[in-house]
Amino acid sequence: MARHRFDCSLRWSDMDAFGHVNNTTFFTYLEEARVDLLFVHAGESVARERLSSGIVVARHEIDYSVPLVFRPETVPIDVWVSRLGTSSFELRYQILDEGGPVYAEAATVLVPFDMVAGRPRRVSDEERAALEPFLEAS
Amino acid sequence: MARHRFDCSLRWSDMDAFGHVNNTTFFTYLEEARVDLLFVHAGESVARERLSSGIVVARHEIDYSVPLVFRPETVPIDVWVSRLGTSSFELRYQILDEGGPVYAEAATVLVPFDMVAGRPRRVSDEERAALEPFLEAS
Amino acid sequence: MARHRFDCSLRWSDMDAFGHVNNTTFFTYLEEARVDLLFVHAGESVARERLSSGIVVARHEIDYSVPLVFRPETVPIDVWVSRLGTSSFELRYQILDEGGPVYAEAATVLVPFDMVAGRPRRVSDEERAALEPFLEAS
Amino acid sequence: MARHRFDCSLRWSDMDAFGHVNNTTFFTYLEEARVDLLFVHAGESVARERLSSGIVVARHEIDYSVPLVFRPETVPIDVWVSRLGTSSFELRYQILDEGGPVYAEAATVLVPFDMVAGRPRRVSDEERAALEPFLEAS
């Protein structure tokens, strides 16, 4: 099972003046799923430490299909590693109800970054080991 | 048991540049607890319909005690009706960990409002019946 | 001059725990630039009425180059129409300082939508006339 | 002139599903006015350094009068120091249109804090000198 499932809580205030979850808020949901994967569930604590402090977002893309409205129940987000390169990797996501609509599909390119030196760095061995269980090439 | 407990999900992005949940975000947490009480759990569907569309926030106050940091676990919020008048009512809240610190205590004055006529209205009998089980005079 | 410039105010709270404007907040900035173009500056009031109530976001993509930090000064956003089709159109954006770095480049696909019938509709003549002055094919 | 005026930009996304600026967002506006006063305009750079890194919010209160709707124009916020004690000080705010309605009035208690030692500290002489020009006892 390569995919990680995160159950995302909606907030009433996520809705905008049109009465739907605002399109920008989907990126907050993706961030929560990504944080849950990289900071909480991926690999050993050493790898998670690096994943949580030494990675920058280089690119996002998202396709919206169906509007989402606030509800007390969480919405499932599936997230997995769709590409694992030497100097970057990509996550893909689906926001969807089990047996129901896919609200959105998205992808994020992440780049390991040496914060002290101020420049990109290579994916470390610990990071690779932590990410590989979630790899599902697309 | 007059108090209603809402388990509030934190988001990584709730933290500000100081690395704590931003003080303004606590009001979003209170809103989620309030929505959970008034829109989901209070009384019959008729009362909830009015509570969810015909109430405005007139006042907030909050006292902060301990900083809150993002964590995957929810934070409990206790919310109850501390005053139930004829033309307004007050909710009180505690954000706290069971057997741990109280992060903040807060209160909100809510006013029933006739959106069509554009003026305050009295608390209806259905609303009173829906709120009374949560009344705990302070 | 096909491009529309919007001067976007930053908020201190736009920064996240890394001390940079959070990547999701860039979409809020893009939304403000888009609203300023479509709801305030595009064409006659009739066209703006439709643009502000009958358009949905179908897709976003963004590439980040340089981190942005809170400052009292606004950040300029250039926005223009990069494609104007019969059933959708695309906006492109650059977030950049005059004579300074490009923080991010992005694109949004927008789809006219008949909210009552619940289905996509064609770009109307008024909308086309309102958008054409901002067209700059890429 | 003791009061500091901050012209606050609204964002379309500040509105909630009721089509008004959400009540919690007012605290973000207050924060921007407070940041503009304490981090940008108060006193010498040494004082601002301390005010921007060594102060915590202990309490907020707010009274709402009139709903606020998104508009391209800024909304003025007047902010001033209403109490300047030895271990805390209070700011007061009015969000209002010149010659128009007062949308809300609010107050914040701020406490100087020694982040390293993890405990409150006294208002320093530099901070007092920076805040006194904005003092207007209520």
pLDDT confidence tier of residue D7, bands split at 50, 70 and 90: very high
Residue C40 sits at the chain A interface (C-beta within 8 Å): no
pLDDT tens, residue by residue, D93-136: 999 999 999 999 999 999 998 878 888 999 998 889 999 999 99
- pLDDT at residue D42, as a whole number: 79
- pLDDT at residue C118, as a whole number: 82
Torsion on CA atoms A78, A83, A84, A86, rounded to nearest 10: -150
Q: Examine the pLDDT at D45 and tell me if it is beyond 70.
A: no
Percent of chain B at pLDDT above 70? 91
Residue A129 sits at the chain B interface (C-beta within 8 Å): no
> Comparing C-alpha atoms, which of D121, B118, B15, B27 is closest to residue A11?
B27
- pLDDT at residue B138, as a whole number: 63
- pLDDT at residue A126, as a whole number: 87
Torsion on CA atoms C115, C120, C124, C128, rounded to nearest 10: 120
Q: What is the Cα–Cα distance from C50 to B128, expressed in whole angstroms?
A: 42
pLDDT confidence tier of residue A41, bands split at 50, 70 and 90: confident
pLDDT confidence tier of residue B52, bands split at 50, 70 and 90: low
D15, D35, D37, D53: best mutation site toward chain C, by most C Cβ within 10 Å? D35
Q: Examine the pLDDT at B47 and tell me if it is beyond 90.
A: no
Residue D124 sits at the chain B interface (C-beta within 8 Å): no
Compare CB distances from D58 to B27, B57, B63 and report the shortest one's residue: B63
In the predicted model, residues of chain C with pLDDT beneath 70 are: 1, 44-52, 138
Residue C28 sits at the chain A interface (C-beta within 8 Å): yes
Q: What's the mean pLDDT when you consider all of chain B?
A: 91
- How many beta-carbon pairs below 8 A join chains B and C? 22
Mean pLDDT over A32-50 rounds to: 79
Who wins on pLDDT, A11 or D19? A11
pLDDT confidence tier of residue A69, bands split at 50, 70 and 90: very high
Q: What is the Cα–Cα distance from D39 to B87, expressed in whole angstroms?
A: 41
Residues of C in contact with A63 (CB under 8 A): 58-59
Residue B57 sits at the chain D interface (C-beta within 8 Å): yes
> Comparing C-alpha atoms, which of C41, C42, C57 is closest to residue C124?
C42
pLDDT confidence tier of residue A138, bands split at 50, 70 and 90: low
Tell me what ipTM this predicted complex has.
Answer: 0.92
| Chains interfacing with C (3 or more CB pairs < 8 Å) | A, B, D
Compare CB distances from C35 to D12, D28, D32 and report the shortest one's residue: D12
- Burial level of C61, CB count in 10 A (0-12/13-18/19+)? middle
SS3 of residue D36 by DSSP? helix
- How many beta-carbon pairs below 8 A join chains C and D? 25
Q: Examine the pLDDT at D79 and tell me if it is beyond 70.
A: yes
Q: What is the Cα–Cα distance from B19 to D115, expressed in whole angstroms?
A: 12
> Comparing C-alpha atoms, which of B110, B58, B59 is closest to residue B84?
B110
Alpha helices in chain A (DSSP H): 25-35, 45-53, 125-131
Bridge partner list, B62: B106, D60
pLDDT tens, residue by residue, B82-120: 999 999 999 999 999 999 999 999 999 999 988 788 889
**Contact (CB<8Å) C28/D40:** no
Distance of CA C125 to the CA centre of its chain: 21
Residue C69 sits at the chain D interface (C-beta within 8 Å): no
**Count of other CB atoms within 10 angstroms of residue D35:** 19
- pLDDT at residue B18, as a whole number: 87
Who wins on pLDDT, B47 or B113? B113
Instruction: Name the range with the highest mean pLDDT among A127-131, D65-69, D104-108.
Output: D104-108
Residues of C in contact with B22 (CB under 8 A): 13
Shortest distance between the Cα of A59 and any Cα of chain C, in A, equals 5
Q: Examine the pLDDT at D1 and tell me if it is beyond 60.
A: no
- Burial level of B134, CB count in 10 A (0-12/13-18/19+)? buried
Phi, psi of B127 (to 5 degrees): -65, -45
Shortest distance between the Cα of D13 and any Cα of chain C, in A, equals 7
- pLDDT at residue A39, as a whole number: 82
Question: What are chain C's domains?
Answer: 4-134 (3.10.129.10)
Shortest distance between the Cα of D112 and any Cα of chain B, in A, equals 14
Residue C27 sits at the chain B interface (C-beta within 8 Å): no
- pLDDT at residue A52, as a whole number: 67
- pLDDT at residue A45, as a whole number: 66
**Count of other CB atoms within 10 angstroms of residue C5:** 16
- pLDDT at residue C13, as a whole number: 93
Q: What's the mean pLDDT when you consider all of chain D?
A: 91
Residue D15 sits at the chain A interface (C-beta within 8 Å): yes
Query: For residue D134, is it left (φ>0), alpha (ψ between -120 and 50) or beta?
Result: alpha
Residue A135 DSSP symbol: B
Residues of D in contact with B28 (CB under 8 A): 24
- pLDDT at residue D82, as a whole number: 96
| Chains interfacing with B (3 or more CB pairs < 8 Å) | A, C, D
Mean pLDDT over A80-87 rounds to: 96
- pLDDT at residue D93, as a whole number: 98
